[in-house]
Structure 1
Amino acid sequence: MVKILAVYDEDPLYAERLAEYVNQRETIPFTAMAFSDLERLKAYGNEHEIEILLAGEGVKNQTDQVRAGLKMVLCGGEFSMEKENPSIYKYQSGDSILREVMTCYCAAPPEPALALAGARGRILGVYSPVNRCGKTAFALTLAQVLSKNWPVLFISLEEFAGFEAILGGQAPRDLSDVLYLCRQGGFNWMKLRTIVCSVGQVDMIPPAAYGEDLDQMEPEELAQVFGRIAGESGYGRIVVDLGHMGRGSAALLDGCDGVYMPVLKDPVSQAKIEAFDRYLGAAGAISLKEKIQRIQLPVIRGYGRLDDYMEKLLWGEMGDFVRSLLEGGLGNG
C-alpha cells in the first residue's frame, strides 16, 4: 500500500521542491504530493488516505477539515514538537526535515511499515588485518561510486571513525542507538530512518560515539542487524567498514555477500595476512576465502581538508581505482 505524504504551503514552489526531494529518496516509504489548492487537497484527502500532512504555518488553520493521520507545521520561526500539530523549521536541509518527520511519525505510527518492498540489498564488507592500508578511504569511495546505480547505506564499525566533519557536526543519534533498538527488540526500518544522515548521494548511519557500545554485541548479532537492514530498508547496497574486529571477524565476514580486503606488500603486512589465513582455518571458515577479494590500493597524496574529503576521493586516484574494480566485480553482482 502506498503511503502518501502531502505538502501544502503558502509558497507553491517550496511545496513542489520538498515533494520532489522526498520522491528522490528511494528509501523513504512515502510518495510525496504537493498541493497549492485547498479544495483539491480536501477532495484528495476524502478519497485517499493521507499518512502525513506538512502544512505551512500561514495556511495551517485552513487544514482543520483535511483528513490526515499526522499533521505537522512547516514554520519559518519558532517551532515546537508538541503532540498536537508538531512543527518543523522549513528552511533547513531536506534530509533534516525528513529525519524530523520520521522521528515524529515513529513516536506513534498508526500502522508502521516494518519493511520496504524490494529485493534484498547486497552487503559489501571492507576489512583488513593490515593497519594504515587505506581501508576507510576505499570504503567511502566504494559507497559513492555504487550510489550512481543503487541507493547505498554506509556503516562504519571503526572505534574512532572521526566523521564529524564529513557529517557536518556531531550527529544527535548514531549506531549506538541502532544497536540499542535491536537489543530492546524495537528495531524496524521506520525508526532506523530517523537516525540515517545523507552525505551527497550516500546515506550513512553515524558511527558509534563510544566504541564500548560495539563490544556489547556479539559479531553474530551484528551480522543479523546488517542482514535485517539489507532485507528491510530498500537499499541496493550496504557498505560496511568492518574496522578491526579481531577474533570475531569470521562471523561478520560470513554475513557479507562479498568482502574487499586491502593489503600491503611489506613483510610485516604479509605476516599479518598469513596470520589471518591461519585464523580462518582454525575457525573452520576456509570457505570465506571465496568471498574475499584482495586488493592493493593506490597511494593517495594531498588529502586537503576533511570537509571535502569524500569529493576528492571520488574524483581522484581512489575513485578511478574503484570504478575500474567494479567492472564485473563484487559490487555489481
Structure 2
Amino acid sequence: MAERILAVYDEDFFYAERLADFINERKQAPFKALAFTTLERLMSYGKDHEIDLLLIQSDISREELNGLSAGQVFYLCDGENGPIDESSKGIYKYQAADSIMRDVMEAYLTSDEEAGGRVISRTGRVIGIYSPINRCLKTSFSLTMGQLLSRDLKVLYLNFEDCSGLGTLIGEEFKGGLSDLFYYYSQEKYSWIRLGSLVYTWGELDYVAPVRYPEDLNQIGAGEAADLVRRIARESPYETIILDLGQFGKKAAEILEACDVIYMPVKEDCVSVAKIEEFEEYLSVSGHEAVTKRIEKLKLPYHSSFGRRDSYLEQLLWSELGDYTRQLLRKQP
C-alpha cells in the first residue's frame, strides 16, 4: 500500500510540529504526517504531491485552497471560531493529540474510501497475563509491565475484564472501545484504521478502552477474539500487545493460544492452588497442552498501600511490584 500523507497546517510552528511528530511517533494511523506553517509552502507541496488528509487552521477558506488536491479536509477549531465554511468538518484543536486522531479516524471512516488494512513485515509479540484465581495483582502487573515496555517499544494494552475500573483509574471518559472493536470484527469491518480510531494513549502506553458492559464480552467467541489479536499483531505497528485476560473462564485457553508468552500470577493458599491445578488439567484434556509450555507462574509482591487513587498507576512503577517487573523484564530475551 502506498504511503498516505497527512498534512498539518497551522501558523503556530510549535503546534503544527508537535502534532505531526506525535502522529509519526505513535503510528496511530496509517499516515506520514508533514507540518506546514505557511500557506505558500503547503500549496507548493500540493502541486507535486497527493495529500490524503489535511488538518488546517479554521480561518482558511475553501477559496484559498483552490487548486490544492486533498482527499479530505478537517479544520482545527479553537472552540470559539469554527470553520469559515459551515459545511466543513471541524475538530477541536486543543484537545489531547490522541483524541484529535480518534476524531479524525472516525470521520475518515465515514468517507467512501475503502478502509484497508496494513500488513507489517514483523508480527508483534503477544503477552498474555491470566490467572484462574482472583485478587492476585494481575491488572496491576499488566499495567506496570505496559508502562515499562512502552518506554522503548510500541505497546498496545487490551483489557478483557468485564469490570476493569480503568476509566476511573486513568481519569478518562471513553467514547468507544473494545465493545466497538468486537462489533467491527464480528461484522467483518475491522481494519487498522478502525483500530486507530479507538486507541487512547496514557503516558507512552496505547490502549483500547475495555467493554462498556460485561455482556459485550459475549459479542464474539474466544476463538474469534484470538483471531482478532493475531490480526492486530500482524497488521498493526505494535511491537508488543499485552492481553489482560479476565472473565473468559476456561475459554481463555483459546485466547492464550495466540500468546507468545503467558504470565500467570499465583498464590499459595490451598484454594488458589486447587484452581491452578484444575485449569492445568483442563488444558491437558482439551488439547491445549502447548499453552502450558508458555506459562510462567509468578508470585507477585504485594505492594504497600498507596495514597490517592488517581495517582495509583504512576506509583506502581516505584513500588515493590515495579521493581519486581523490571527484574523480570531484564531476564527476558
- 1:307 alignment partner in structure 2: 310
CA distance in 1, matches of 2:219, 2:58: 45
- 1:156 alignment partner in structure 2: 159
Residues 1:56 and 2:65 are matched in the alignment? no
CA distance in 1, matches of 2:212, 2:82: 29
- 1:317 alignment partner in structure 2: 320
1:274 Cα deviation from its structure 2 partner: 1.2
What amino acid is the match of 2:319? G
- 1:37 alignment partner in structure 2: 38
What amino acid is the match of 1:35? F
CA distance in 2, matches of 1:276, 1:83: 59
What amino acid is the match of 1:38? L
Moved more, 107-116 or 12-21: 107-116
1:116 Cα deviation from its structure 2 partner: 5.1
Conservation of the 8 A alpha-carbon contact between 2:186 and 2:219: no
Conservation of the 8 A alpha-carbon contact between 1:118 and 1:234: no
Describe the shift of the 1:179–1:83 C-alpha distance in structure 2 as closer, same or farther (beyond 3 A): farther
CA distance in 1, matches of 2:48, 2:154: 32
- 1:187 alignment partner in structure 2: 190
1:254 Cα deviation from its structure 2 partner: 1.0
- 2:278 alignment partner in structure 1: 275
Conservation of the 8 A alpha-carbon contact between 2:29 and 2:105: no
Aligned length: 329
1:223 Cα deviation from its structure 2 partner: 0.4
- 2:136 alignment partner in structure 1: 133
CA offsets, 1:145-180, max 9 Å, x none? 111221111011111001112343330111110010
After TM superposition, the score normalised by the length of structure 1 is 0.93
TM superposition outliers: structure 1 runs of 4+ over 3 Å: 109-113
Gaps of 5+ in 1: none
Q: What does 1:66-85 align with in structure 2 at a 5 Å threshold? A: 66-76=68-78, 77-79=80-82, 84-85=87-88
1:232 Cα deviation from its structure 2 partner: 0.9
What amino acid is the match of 1:217? I
Moved more, 243-252 or 205-214: 243-252
RMSD: 1.8
Q: What does 1:1-333 align with in structure 2 at a 5 Å threshold? A: 1-61=2-62, 62-76=64-78, 77-79=80-82, 84-108=87-111, 110=113, 112-115=115-118, 117-329=120-332, 333=333
Conservation of the 8 A alpha-carbon contact between 2:28 and 2:101: no
CA distance in 2, matches of 1:210, 1:52: 34
Conservation of the 8 A alpha-carbon contact between 1:4 and 1:51: yes
Describe the shift of the 1:263–1:172 C-alpha distance in structure 2 as closer, same or farther (beyond 3 A): same
Conservation of the 8 A alpha-carbon contact between 1:52 and 1:70: yes
1:86 Cα deviation from its structure 2 partner: 0.4
Conservation of the 8 A alpha-carbon contact between 1:29 and 1:116: no
1:247 Cα deviation from its structure 2 partner: 2.1
CA distance in 1, matches of 2:69, 2:307: 52
Look up the SS of the partner of 1:271 in the other structure.
Answer: helix
CA distance in 2, matches of 1:10, 1:116: 35
The percentage of counterpart residues that share the same residue type is 41
Look up the SS of the partner of 1:43 in the other structure.
Answer: helix
What amino acid is the match of 2:77? C
CA distance in 1, matches of 2:82, 2:40: 27
1:84 Cα deviation from its structure 2 partner: 4.6
CA offsets, 1:240-269, max 9 Å, x none? 011132121211111111100000111211
CA offsets, 1:179-200, max 9 Å, x none? 1001111110101111111111
Moved more, 108-117 or 281-290: 108-117
1:206 Cα deviation from its structure 2 partner: 0.4
Moved more, 108-117 or 30-39: 108-117
Look up the SS of the partner of 2:6 in the other structure.
Answer: strand
CA distance in 1, matches of 2:260, 2:97: 32
CA distance in 1, matches of 2:273, 2:89: 57
What amino acid is the match of 1:67? S
What amino acid is the match of 2:229? F
1:35 Cα deviation from its structure 2 partner: 1.1
CA distance in 2, matches of 1:131, 1:79: 50
